[in-house]
Amino acid sequence: MGGGPVDGENADGSASTVHPGTDHPGTDESGSDQPGTESAGHVPVLVRRVDELLAPAIEAATRSGARDVVLVDATLGMGGHTLAMLSAHPALRVIGIDRDPQALRIAQRRLTEAGLSERVELVHAVYDRIGDVIAERVGGGRVQAILFDLGVSSVQLDEADRGFAYAHDAPLDMRMDPATGISAAEVINSYPGAELTRILREYGEERFARRIATALVAERARQPFTTSARLVELVRAAIPAATRRTGGNPAKRTFQALRIEVNDELGALQRAIPVALQHLSVAGRIVVMSYQSLEDRIVKRAIAPLTVSTTPLDLPVDLPGHDPEFAWLTRGAEIPNEYEIQANPRAASARLRAAQRIREATS
């Protein structure tokens, strides 16, 4: 549907440094430090490194005369990485997935303005449908490159009325697709206290999860929550006074936890990565950028077992079908260097992992 309308560690986990790849300030998780500029000035995180990692798979397929060389951008956002990859690789076609209809509209416009829309197909879907998306659009059902740039986009953070940013008073929504699922307000107002505690602890890594959940349950009985400012105030009041002065806005972790719950972010990622790996052709490459440790752990755990032999240790050679399917292209989770972080604050928490399929999957 080129240019058409949008349709329906290295095994040890150590971190190393990647090259600078972005050149301008972005938006940190507060979403409040940049004006609502939509796509203006948007430079994708670690874009040069992403190209460096994916290019060999794309170029090799192009050189071998493959008729269709495809990158699936599973988190299209404003299309920043897609734009860069299409510009760098004239034979490349991109299938761009996003669950956020607004992101798709912005990406479509930017791609059209850049004259690149003929080589893109945009798909409105949750990325855990990546297998069907590929099977329905790519002959042979295999692609050369897959990119996941996880989390929330600067558009989502900048659009105050979507409720992602704790710095703006806005309706507590946080759905990436505003047409499906339940809002953050519904989570806060209806979940049992124990469940709220779990979400805050697990998804927000919030030390004071129980205190905050207890305060939420008491406050919502007085009056249900509808907007973010009251939630921010409650979190601030619920945590010990000494910790209010450290580590940025105390509501940050609560907002992250709610966003993850509302969008089932970890569930979708857990389902998506193994399926994505199955749809990579031999020599195909996957790059995943995570912005918090829970995501990064899921990515590592999905890929790592495929990078080791399953031949019993006491046998001297790999049994057929037991040698590794994938090889890591990154040593541990790569992190941006100081220039990258200075240039783009959103990159500060990025953790990049990449792998290459080295043999067919065992059927």
Ligand X SMILES: C[S@@+](CC[C@H](N)C(=O)[O-])C[C@H]1O[C@@H](n2cnc3c(N)ncnc32)[C@H](O)[C@@H]1O
Return residues touching ligand X (CB under 6 A): 44, 75, 77-81, 97-100, 103, 126-127, 149, 151, 153, 176, 265, 268
- C-beta of 102 vs 189, nearer to ligand X: 102
Do the Cβ atoms of 237 and 246 come closer than 8 Å? no
Tokens of 107: 């990406």
- C-beta of 34 vs 153, nearer to ligand X: 153
| Calpha distance 196→209 (Å, rounded) | 8
- C-beta of 97 vs 355, nearer to ligand X: 97
Main-chain phi, psi angles of 342, to 5 degrees: -60, -40
- C-beta of 176 vs 343, nearer to ligand X: 176
- C-beta of 133 vs 234, nearer to ligand X: 133
**CA nearest 353: which of 160, 147, 171, 156?**
147
Report the nearest approach of ligand X to the CB of residue 79 (Å).
Answer: 6
- C-beta of 234 vs 299, nearer to ligand X: 299
| Calpha distance 185→198 (Å, rounded) | 17
- C-beta of 75 vs 344, nearer to ligand X: 75
End-to-end CA distance of the chain: 31
- C-beta of 176 vs 239, nearer to ligand X: 176
Do the Cβ atoms of 174 and 260 come closer than 8 Å? no
**CA nearest 203: which of 244, 258, 272, 166?**
258
Report the nearest approach of ligand X to the CB of residue 353 (Å).
Answer: 16
| Calpha distance 281→284 (Å, rounded) | 5
Tokens of 285: 């490459």
- C-beta of 173 vs 219, nearer to ligand X: 173
- Pairing mode, strands 15-18 and 120-124: unpaired
Question: Is residue 198 helix, strand or coil?
Answer: helix
**CA nearest 77: which of 297, 318, 291?**
291
Tokens of 297: 């752990």
- Pairing mode, strands 351-357 and 280-290: antiparallel
251: number of Cβ within 10 Å: 24
Which residue, chain included where needed, has tokens 């560690």?
9
| Calpha distance 340→5 (Å, rounded) | 35
